[in-house]
């Protein structure tokens, strides 16, 4: 009889501790999910920016643009066919 009287309060404390553990676990889970969503949004923004930078790089490196800059800024021209020397081993 004495064992039953002592067991009930202990079980009540264990149940309350377990319930508090579940609440805390759920709270932490929600906090971490919010952090995850923020990180995924930042990742998506960076992926968009990366795509834009790749597009910009490919635009700046086109053959026509490089050739135009060589002609304008470096005053380069295509050599006459007679001035071309082919070196063979």
CA distances to 4, 59, 73, 75 from 65, in Å: 89, 8, 12, 14
Check whether 3 has a pLDDT greater than 70: no
What distances in angstroms separate CA 16 from CA 13, 35, 87, one per listed residue?
A: 5, 29, 90
- Please give the mean pLDDT across all residues of the chain: 92
What mean pLDDT comes out for the span 26-42? 98
Q: State the pLDDT at residue 5.
A: 77
The answer to whether the pTM exceeds 0.75 is no
Mean local confidence (pLDDT), 23-50: 98
**27 has pLDDT over 90:** yes
Contact 70, 76 (CB under 8 A): yes
Residue 85: strand, helix, or coil: coil
Q: Which two tokens stand for residue 27?
A: 């709270």
């Amino acid at each position: 009889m004495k064992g039953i009287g002592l067991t009930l309060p202990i079980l009540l404390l264990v149940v309350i501790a377990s319930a508090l553990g579940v609440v805390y676990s759920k709270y932490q889970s929600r906090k971490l999910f919010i952090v995850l969503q923020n990180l995924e949004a930042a990742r998506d923004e960076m992926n968009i920016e990366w795509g834009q930078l790749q597009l910009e790089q490919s635009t700046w490196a086109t053959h026509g643009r490089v050739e135009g800059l060589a002609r304008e800024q470096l005053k380069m021209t295509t050599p006459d066919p007679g001035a071309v020397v082919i070196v063979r081993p």
